[in-house]
Structures are given as C-alpha cells and as structure tokens.
Structure 1
Amino acid sequence: MTGPNAARLLVVDDDGDMLRLLSMRLEAAGYRVATAGSAEAALAQLDVERPQLVISDVRLPGRDGLALFDEVRQRHPSLPVILLTAHGTIPDAIEATRRGVFTYLTKPYDSKELLERVAQALALHAPAPASPQAEEKWRADIISRSARMADLLAEARMVARSDASVLLRGDSGSGKEMLARAIHRASARAAKPFIAVNCGAIPEALLESELFGHVKGAFTDAVANHKGLFQAADGGTLLLDEIGDMPPALQVKLLRVLQERAVRPVGSSQSHPVDVRILSATHRDLEAAMAAGQFREDLYYRLNVVTLTLPTLAERREDIPLLANHFLNKLAAKYGRRLSGFAPEALKALIAAPWPGNVRQLYNVVEQVCALATTPLVPLALVQRALRVPSVQVLTYAEAKQRFERDYLVGLLKLTDGNVADAARLADRNRTEFYRLLQKHELTPGHFQSQAGDRAVSPSGDDGK
C-alpha cells in the first residue's frame, strides 16, 4: 500500500514484462510508480508531474537512456537518475555516471540492491521541508529531518514553556545560538528582546560593564550612563554564550544577579530589578572546569536547571543534503547566482566529510562553492576543493609514535647513506635490534645508499647489507 506522501518514481523501459516487474517491486516497497515505454513518453510524463527519481533502461527505442538522462539533466538538474544496463552497455553507463547519473545497476539486477540505491538517491536529493505551519515557525531556521534533532526540538519546545534556565551543550558551530533563539520564540517572552553575548570574546575589563552597565565617571572612558545587556533584555531572554570562558570574578557577580534578580551598574550604589530568562551555552566540559576550580559549582547548578545537548553534524548526516541545498538556495539568491543544486557525487562527498566545524563549516563550504561555481549544478571537484582546508591532523598516541619512529629511522639512513652499522651506532642500538626496527617499518637500507660513484665502505667494513 502506498500513501499520498510516498515518493513518486518514474520507471522507463520498453520491455513490458520488465516494466511490470519493476513497478510491482517498487510499489510493494511503498513507492508510487509511473511508467513509460520510451524516452519521449518519459519526457511527456515529466511535463505532467515531476517525480523524485527516474529509473531508466539504457537501451530504449529511438532516443536511448543516455539521451533521456541528458534531457532530464537540462530540464531538472537536481533530479536523480538510475540507469539499468546490460553487460554490453556498461561502459556507456560508467561514462554517464561520470556525467552525473546517480548510479547504474546491471541486469539481472538484485532487488535488494535496487531498493537500497533508490532509498539512497531519495535521501540525498530530498527537497527541503516546506514552509512550516504557524505552530512550527518558532524553529523555522533549524533545517532538519533527523530523529536525533526531532527529539531535541521536542524537548526544547517543552522547556520553552517554562521559565527555567537552560544550559545548551555542543561543539562549536553545531547551532547552539540558533536553538536558543528558537526556545525564545517558543516562549511567553517571544515579543520581548532576545540578546546574545559571547563571554569569551569580550575582554574581562569590558565584560562586566557590557553585562551590568555603568554610570558616568565609573572609569576613564565612562562619559555617560550605559545600560548593560541585562537591562536591555528585560522581559526577554539573554543568551550567555561560551559561559565556560567567563572569568571567576565575574562568575561571582553573575551569581548575585541571578539570586537577587537585580543588577548594579559599575560605579553605582543602586540596584535595578530585571526580569530576564537566562540561557547559557558552552562547548567546554564544565564538570572538568569545576573540578579544576575554574568554574563555580553554585553558578553551574543555577544555570543548569535543564541541559540540552546538540549533536555534531557527523551525528546527523541525513540532514547534510537538506542543509547544503538550503544554504545554496539562500546564498545563490544573495549573490545573484543561478544554481540549482549539487551533482550526486558532490552531495555524497559532503555527506562523507568529517565536519569538525559542524553546520557553520558546512555553510562556509557552500558559500565558497557558490562564489566559484560556473555551472548550474555544483560539481564534485569544486566541493573537494572547498573541503580541502588546512587542519591539524590528530593522531592516536600509538599512531604518532609509529610515525615518529619511521621518520627517525629514515632520517638516520639518509644521514649515513644507508649504512646500518653507523645508523645503529647513532641510535645507540645494536645492529640486530636496529635491523628488527627496519623490518618492522619495511625499510631497505640499500634504497638510501648513494647513487653517485662507488659506494664508500665504512671504517667498520659494514656496507649496509
């Protein structure tokens, strides 16, 4: 049985029996299937209703499957195509894959593999969700279809109804401020200000004044009274981002404000009542910071009434196609570029990338490809270029030790012109042990011997063999 929201597939084959068999298997898997017996009939179907995926035989009467693919690509650049091919036409199918066909399957095809490839194609090319209904506008900026994010958003929506302080945890770039804004929009304070401050980005000398305000003459540059962010956010929500970086002296003053619900500007003797909901965010391990005496335990429990933890982008990879296409559409409009999507292989590369910088890094990568793209469909090469950013390679201790050991041995062999006796002497190891190390790293001393002139023999008479 198929529902109205099931993905619609267009299957093209001039063999009626094969067409019926394919349709039965796909419909049994829950898809809606339209069929066509030729490329011309398939293009006519596309004019009536656009499917989410095209599955076509390579050998068709008149215009073949490759020509059909070219026409589909021209009309709908982001529509995925799977080709079915006999062994004799595999080279054509491989060439089509290089040009952007999602994949190809050889006949007789395996039903399980077919369904897996169909599911992959649909997942990679799923459209961004439609405009949210009024009740979902609170989280309209958070693009996701992952179960992990759905659970988090349901919890955030529930928490938003209370006035409890919330601690948002997550790696840098995972979207903590965006979730904080969503919580504010879903709360009773939505009509009041939402203000975010990065506690690690403002010098300690200025942060107190920024948060609590100051009066004229409180310090050299205080030429007028200044309301702090607590007063500016009165009635609304204040996000204290990177709270783990707040200096200890300010932690004490923040705790007093939270306890008394009043702020005293720098240089003033009077306190001003404030009604502010506090959300805080950090990528640091606050429990470890408390153990090290860097974060106050009483402040931690005051801020951490409810904890929400954002997953890394690598933990919600099913969201990458949605986010990438959403960012591409947004940036294409911003820069006035005509871009329609990512080539299948480019999208696969995005999904497979490690993303240490999370959603923020993905946005930056998409912005770079948007600036450099010369075709409507972003190619794999451009994505690979944007993903090649300098980064520190993190090795395990064992890997680092192995690499150092090999590099050390190579350096000695180069220095001694491949003479094992001299290299072992420099390493302060006996020759038997040194040979064992060379075998472990598959290093041959002869490869390091000089190629110019006769090889010199060491005073010991050992020629390195």
Structure 2
Amino acid sequence: MSNAMTNPPDVLLVDDDEEVRRAYGQTLELDGLTVSTTGSSAAALASLSTRFEGVVVSDVRMPGMDGFGLLDAVRRLDPDIPVLLITGHGDVPMALRALRAGAWDFIEKPADPVLLVETVRRALEQRRLVLENRALREQGARDEARADDVWAGRLIGRAEPMQRLRRTLAVLADTRTDVLIFGETGTGKEMAARALHDFGRRRAGRFVAVNCAAIPENMIESELFGHEAGAFTGARERRIGKIEHAHKGTLFLDEIESMPLAAQTRLLRALQERSIERLGSNLEIQVDIRVLAATKVDLLALSGEGRFREDLLYRLNTVTVRLPPLRDRHEDIPALFRHFVATVAARDGVPTRPVETGTLAGLMRRPWPGNVRELRNAAERHVLGLEEAEEMELAPAGAPSLEATVDLAERQAIAQVLARHGGRVGQSAEALGISRKTLYLKMRKHGLERDAVED
C-alpha cells in the first residue's frame, strides 16, 4: 500500500482516518489489488484523469470536500469512473442518496472484507470494459478520419453530397462489385473510378480505361476483346484486348452509352462468364476483372428506346453511384478553385497568383454547366493570366459594388447549405467550415430567419 505507486493503482482509497485507510488497504492488497491511499478529496482529484484505470473507494464523512463532493467532481471529470461510497451502518437515506448521485455502489461500515473485495473487482471489470470500448471507438474514429483524409485528398469538397459520395466509395472500394457511375459532363467520373481502384484491393493491378465514344464502331470489339493474327483484313499479329489486359485489375468503360449494340451483347456475356474469346479464336480465356462503367445519360430511358441492352444495364448497375454537379455543392467552389490554381502553378513551374475575394464572388455566381472540369479550366486561365474578356472588364456604371456582390454570393451560399441540411445550424456550419457563432452572425447579417431553423 502506497501513496505514490510506480504502477497505476487498481484502487484509489480516500478516507481521512489513517487507521481505516490502512485496514481497507491491507484487505484489498491481500487479494492482489494495488492500492493508492490519500486522506483528502482534493488530493484524490489531483491524481485522477480520464485515463485512470481503477476504482475510487471513498468515505462519505470527511472534512472539506466530503464523499458526495468527490463523487460529483469525479463524474464531471469522467462519468465512467466507478466510485464506491462507504456509508454509515444502517444509513439507508444516505445509501439511496449515493446511488441517485451516481455512485457505482455503496458499502456499509464496518466494511465486510469479502464484500469489499467482490464489489471492487466487479467495478474494476466494468471500468476495464468501458476503457476497452472507448479505445476501440477512438481507434475507429482515427481510422475513419485517416481514410476520409485519403479520399478527401482525391475527391475534394466539404459539401454534404461530397462527404456522402466519399463514404459510399470507401465502402465499395474493397468489394468485387461492379459499379455504374452516373454524372453530368465534367463531374469527375473517371477520377471517382480511379479512386475506387487505387484505394481498393485491386490497386496492384492495372486500371484500364476505355472511352467507348472515341473508338470507331468497326474497331470496338477488337479493342475490347483482342484478336488473333489473320482474324480480319489488316490483323497481321495477335493483339491483347482491353478486357484481357485488365486481368487482376479494373476495367473502366467511360461513356458506355456509346457502345454499339453488337459489342454490348459480347460484353454482357463476358461480364456474366468472366471469360472472353479473342476475335478469330475459339479459345476461352478466363479474366479476373472488376468493371466500372460511367455514363452521363439515363440508360434506362436509352434501353426503352432500343439503344441500350436492358439486360446489360441490370448487369452493370448492381450499385449506382451518382456524382453531384457543381451547382449542388457551390460551397466547395472556393476550395476547388484554389486547389486547381495551386496544382496548375506547380505543374507549369510558375508562381501561384493570389485569388481575390472578387474573383471568388464571380465564380460563385456562375452556373458551371461544365462542372468541375470547367472550373479547372477557369483556374488554368487564372494562373496564366488569360482570364476571359468579360472577367477582366471593369463593372459598368450602375453595377453592384464589389462588397454587395460578395455579400450576395455569401448569402446565396449560406441559404443553399441551410436548405440542404434542413435548417440545422450545426451541420450547416460544419459544411461551410465556420463556427456556429459565425454562422449565426452571418444569418443575422443577411436576414436569414431562424424560424424554420432546427438546431
């Protein structure tokens, strides 16, 4: 029994009576428990932290801060630290008060040695389980944060649609499931596909991208399935097709809506059997591939028009991932633009041009039909000092001032985020990257009412 122990104690024993401390301490130590003792609540609190792995056993009646005061202080520090209070014999009201105040248990004086040891050991087991669960949650949170950092570095954006997209892709990355990626022009379909490959279990294999719209119709089957020498006029030697080349990796079929129906039929069989035959050959070749397909059109509507095989559609869209257009994540525009400016400047080895507030305000007002690709092009022009003429012109007479323009853009951005998060201030502030207090002040400034806001 010691007041200052090398190893963390199992029990912190608090009692102003030295004889009681010695007696209880010996009882606990004889059962193999390590005990640290102190004569005051203040000293006990000074030795506690949220990492404390043991149990507090305290008398109730002590000078200064009594046992109830210590219990309250310990619960404020960490409500999961078990506190056992020692109450007077037969003092039922005090025992009930102890339990209501949050004590783990109470023991009557004089403490029965067997009961004291059993109660302390149960409390220690409870504390051990709490700390194990806490450690697992913290490790999970750290792992999730690290994983999100990796995905956020590739798919930039704090807007809720982007956070949701990263969570979905993180779930899909290590699976074998084929995925259909739907998104408007310029939303980053190939980037999402590459992220699925790079952060998944097939990362060591090839990522083979095929733009179905860029291959002539009479060449696409040869391009996908390969051919043997002499399979057709001009086929002088054997050629490995894209599907076979992607063995043990990922095949990305971009603009799959452009694939001719004949090629769709062969692709469907290849996906079902995971095998191919090169043109001019009867040899069946097994392939281990994951297929990611991308489209910017409604394939179901296309199949209804007879321009896309319905069975291929259902084979491809086991899971459909939808990429948000830039108009649905306006709050990400400043961060994306600055990222593209820095990337282009580093690529070209030129100084990074500062991005003025007025520039960002102008970007926030634009509709961006070309989405992120169009924004990147604007960043490239900015780095090179080649902004379009209308961007370089001075505001005409009667045009809003820069301050008014910025205010308008800010109000629109805040209103959009609030609407997207159902008026929840906490979630909206996090999405905007500002504090709740700052968001409240800006809402007041822009006359955004709180009546419909759910906090």
TM bracket, shorter-chain basis: 0.5 to 0.7
Closer, same or farther: CA 185–246 of 1 in aligned 2, 3 Å? same
**Shift of residue 135, structure 1, vs aligned partner:** 6.7
1:305 to 304, 309, 318: 318
TM-score w.r.t. the length of structure 2 is 0.53
Amino acid at match of 1:269: N
The answer to whether the 8 Å contact 1:327/1:366 transfers is yes
Aligned runs of 1:369-448 on 2, under 5 Å? 369-372=382-385, 382=387, 385=390
> Which sections of structure 2, spanning at least 5 residues, go unmatched?
1-144, 394-455
Tell me how far apart the structure 1 counterparts of residues 205 and 260 of structure 2 sit (CA, whole Å).
Answer: 29
Tell me, yes or no, if the aligned pair for 2:159 and 2:329 is still in contact at 8 Å: yes
Query: Does 2:333 match 1:317?
Result: no
Look up the SS of the partner of 2:184 in the other structure. coil
Cα pair distance change 1:325/1:250, threshold 3 Å: same
Instruction: Kindly indicate whether the alpha-carbon contact (under 8 Å) linking 1:350 and 1:383 is maintained by their aligned counterparts in 2.
Output: no
Is 1:296 paired with 2:324?
Answer: no
CA distance in 2, matches of 1:317, 1:239: 28
Supply the AA of the counterpart residue of 1:141: R
Q: Which residue of 2 aligns with 1:206?
A: 219
Kindly state the Cα deviation for residue 139 of structure 1 after the two structures are TM-superposed: 5.2
Go from structure 1 to structure 2 and tell me whether the alpha carbon gap of 1:149 and 1:244 turns closer, same or farther (over 3 Å shift): same
Specify which of 173, 180, 201 is matched with residue 167 of structure 1.
Answer: 180
Structure 2 residue aligned with 1:178: 191
Q: Once the 2 structures are TM-superposed, how far is the Cα of residue 303 of structure 1 from its aligned partner? A: 0.2
Instruction: Return the letter of the residue paired with 1:247.
Output: P
Q: 1:138–1:227: structure 2 CA closer, same or farther, 3 Å change rule?
A: farther
Which structure: larger Rg? 2
Local SS of the residue matching 2:156: coil
Cα distance in 2, alignment partners of residues 363 and 296 from structure 1: 35
| Residues 252 and 291 in structure 2, CA contact (< 8 A), matched pair in contact too | yes
- The 2-side partners of 1:319 and 1:242 are apart by 26
Distance 1:136 1:185, change over 3 A: farther
1:67-78 correspondence runs (5 A): none
Match for residue 333 of structure 1 among 346, 352, 372: 346
Residues 369, 386 of structure 1: 8 Å contact kept: no
SS at match of 1:249: helix
Q: Distance in 2 between matches of 1:281 and 1:334?
A: 28
Opposite residue 228 of structure 2, the aligned amino acid is V
Work out whether residues 349 and 383 of structure 1, in 8 Å CA contact, stay in contact via their aligned partners in 2.
Answer: no
> Structure 1 residue 209: deviation in Å?
0.9
Q: Is the 8 A contact 1:290 1:297 kept in 2?
A: yes
2:269 corresponds to 1:252: no
Q: Please list the CA deviations of residues 139-158 of structure 1 after superposition, one character each: whole Å capped at 9, or x if unmatched.
A: 53211111111011101111
Residue number among 164, 168, 175 corresponding to 1:151 in the alignment: 164
Residue among 345, 367, 373 paired with 1:360: 373
What is the distance in 2 between the residues matched to 1:338 and 1:154? 35
The verdict on how the C-alpha distance between 1:174 and 1:143 changes in structure 2, with shifts beyond 3 A counting, is same
Offset of 1:197 from its aligned partner?
A: 0.7
Q: Is the 8 A contact 1:138 1:183 kept in 2?
A: no
Distance 2:153 2:380 in 1: 21
The answer to whether residue 224 in structure 2 is matched with residue 224 in structure 1 is no
Relative to structure 1, the CA distance from residue 387 to residue 143 in structure 2 (aligned partners, 3 Å threshold; closer, same or farther) is farther
Asked whether 1:190 is paired with 2:209, we answer no
Task: Specify the SS of the correspondent of 2:163.
Answer: helix
CA distance in 2, matches of 1:354, 1:280: 27
Going from structure 1 to structure 2, the CA distance change for 1:340 and 1:371 (only over 3 Å counts) comes to closer
Counterpart Cα distance in 2 of 1:152 and 1:186: 14
Q: Provide the secondary structure at the position in 1 that maps to 2:383.
A: helix
Q: Which residue pairs with 1:282 in the alignment?
A: 295
Superposed CA RMSD: 1.9
Deviation at 1:340, TM superposition (A): 4.0
Cα distance change on mapping 1:255 and 1:137 into 2, 3 Å:
same
Give the SS at the match of 1:200. helix
Match of 1:224, SS? coil
TM-score by length of 1: 0.51
Q: Which range moves more in the overlay, 204-213 or 333-342?
A: 333-342
Conservation of the 8 A alpha-carbon contact between 1:198 and 1:240: yes
Query: How far off its partner does 1:138 sit?
Result: 4.9
Counterpart in the other structure of 1:235: 248
Tell me the CA shift for residue 387 of structure 1: 9.9
Q: Counterpart of 1:168 in 2: which secondary structure?
A: strand
Question: Residue 35 of structure 1 corresponds to which residue in structure 2?
Answer: none
Label 1:335 to 1:235 Cα distance change in 2 as closer, same or farther (>3 A): same
The offset of 1:350, in angstroms, is 0.8
Equivalent pair of 2:155/2:166 in contact (CA under 8 Å): no
**AA at the equivalent of 1:291:** G
Q: Residue 237 of structure 2 aligns to a residue in which SS?
A: coil
Displacement after TM superposition at 1:235 (Å): 0.7
Structure 1 residue 339 displacement after superposition? 2.3
What's the offset of the Cα at 1:231? Answer: 1.1
Q: Report if the CA contact (8 A) 2:151-2:166 is conserved.
A: no
Q: Structure 1: which 5+ runs fail to align? A: 1-131, 374-381, 389-465
The alpha-carbon distance between structure 1 residues 204 and 330, as it changes in their structure 2 partners (threshold 3 A), is same
Q: Choose 248-257 or 139-148, whichever is displaced more.
A: 139-148
1:183 is displaced (CA, Å) by: 1.0
Shift, 1:169, TM fit: 0.4
Kindly state the Cα deviation for residue 137 of structure 1 after the two structures are TM-superposed: 2.8
1:79-101 CA distance string (max 9 Å, x none): xxxxxxxxxxxxxxxxxxxxxxx
Cα 1:331–1:347, aligned 2, differ >3 Å: closer, same or farther?
Answer: same
How far apart, CA to CA, are the structure 2 residues paired with 1:286 and 1:225? Answer: 34
AA at the equivalent of 1:191: A
Quote how far apart the aligned CAs of 1:204 are: 1.1
- The answer to whether the Cα contact below 8 Å between 2:353 and 2:383 also exists between their aligned partners in 1 is no
